[in-house]
Amino acid sequence: MQEMSHQMMGYDRATTLFSPDGRLLQVEYAKEAVKQGSTAIGMVCCDGVLLVVDKRVVDKLVVSESVEKIFQIDDHIGATAVGFVMDGRVLLERAQIMVQQHRVTYDEPMDTAELVKEIADINQLYTQLSGARPFGVSVLFVGIDSRPTLFVTDPTGIFFEYKAATAGEGEAEIKKILENEYSESMTIDDGLKLSIKALRKVLGKDFDMKRIDGAYITTAKKTFTRIEKKKLKTL
């Protein structure tokens, strides 16, 4: 009732307008958009990092391979966006440019944490710009620097580092599965099996391996690698 009152009073018409109880309603709406996005799971494993996503291709006429949800940012960094895909694409293309500029300027790869901070700063900027809306997306970044890392950003500009994380549809249920079954000693293959198990449980009858995509980066090679479809079909 209180939120409806705030809407009627126009507190959700601008990102820069605080409601009387100190809320930015447009930012909260952006976070709700993330919750309705297609599911993504990230893990730090003993031999690298892993991303697994549901592409949520429900139209039979759509070419599944044309739907890109996992992006290579650099040789040692990958990412996926959850929420408004168009917002995520803009942020991740910005990230790709940033790592290229860093290589040209400093002749060395950009640390994943440094890149995440830059993207989070962009997110935060759009929570205080008049005439613009927040990015309705959370981004899961995985990378191999001196060690494997996984970061998750949200529309507010906040980011955290995780051992394992999920965002999107069924987030609460998958988080419980990860809390109960994830282990730091897991290999990438183990993590992939756990991710598929979690997606099967959450998606139920809608689960289809054609909707699943994944990528990993090993600590040994530090090279972004997409998981082949034939491997997914064996799980």
Predicted confidence at residue 35, as pLDDT, reads 95
d(CA 80, CA 132): 23
Burial (0-12, 13-18, 19+ Cβ within 10 Å), 208: middle
> What is the model's pTM?
0.92
Predicted confidence at residue 110, as pLDDT, reads 98
Domains in the chain, CATH or no CATH each: 46-225+228-232 (3.60.20.10)
Please report, in angstroms and rounded to a whole number, the separation of the first and last CA atoms in the chain: 47
- Read off the pLDDT band of 98 (50, 70, 90): very high
- Read off the pLDDT band of 3 (50, 70, 90): low
- Read off the pLDDT band of 158 (50, 70, 90): very high
Predicted confidence at residue 9, as pLDDT, reads 65
220: Cα within 13 Å, side-chain hemisphere: 4
Predicted confidence at residue 93, as pLDDT, reads 97
Helix (H) or strand (E) segment spanning residue 190: helix 188-203
Residue 77 near residue 215 (C-beta atoms within 8 A): no
Predicted confidence at residue 1, as pLDDT, reads 45
Average pLDDT, stretch 61-82?
92
